Amino acid sequence: SAWVCQFLQQTALFGYGIAYTITASISFRAILKANCYHAHGHDAPCSFDGSYYMLMFGGVQLLLSSIPDFHDMAWLSVVAAVMSFSYAFIGLGLGLANTISNGVIKGSITGVPMKTPVAKVWRVSQAIGDIAFAYPYSLILLEIQ
């Protein structure tokens, strides 16, 4: 039983590491693409390779993992909490600004209308996956134990 739990835990951690690396690379490319569109217009061929940014993210991870007693830094928890609240308030502010500028609340309880039920199921599944990715229980489990 312990071996099965350990295998599943390590597999989940490996998967999260890959997912975070890919997500970081996609985020870097999105920032560069947005900057390119702002500088050269939306008709410009703005494409960037993600391999460099995956390697850069991995290098930063290796650098940070070599800091001694990194897990004992109390200020790190404060910074993480402040960043989480900042992201939440930025999202809330942007949503309110968009609603105020439109003058109406757009959308419905069922979300964005899709052409086919299969497309709707796919979008709902993606949303559930995003929520599951946002709360990796395997990482929290290590802290609890």
Cβ atoms of residues 139 and 16 within 8 Å: yes
User: Quick one: average pLDDT of 14-25?
Assistant: 86
The predicted-structure confidence for 100-115, as pLDDT tens digits, reads as follows 998 887 777 788 888 9
Burial of residue 38, with CB atoms counted within 10 A of its CB: 0-12 exposed, 13-18 middle, 19 or more buried:
exposed
110's enclosing H/E stretch is none
Kindly report the average pLDDT of the chain as a whole number: 85
Q: What angle do CA 53, 59, 63 make, to 5 degrees?
A: 145
Domain regions of the chain by residue span:
1-66, 72-106, 110-145
pLDDT of residue 143: 66
pTM of the model: 0.62
How many residues belong to the chain? 145
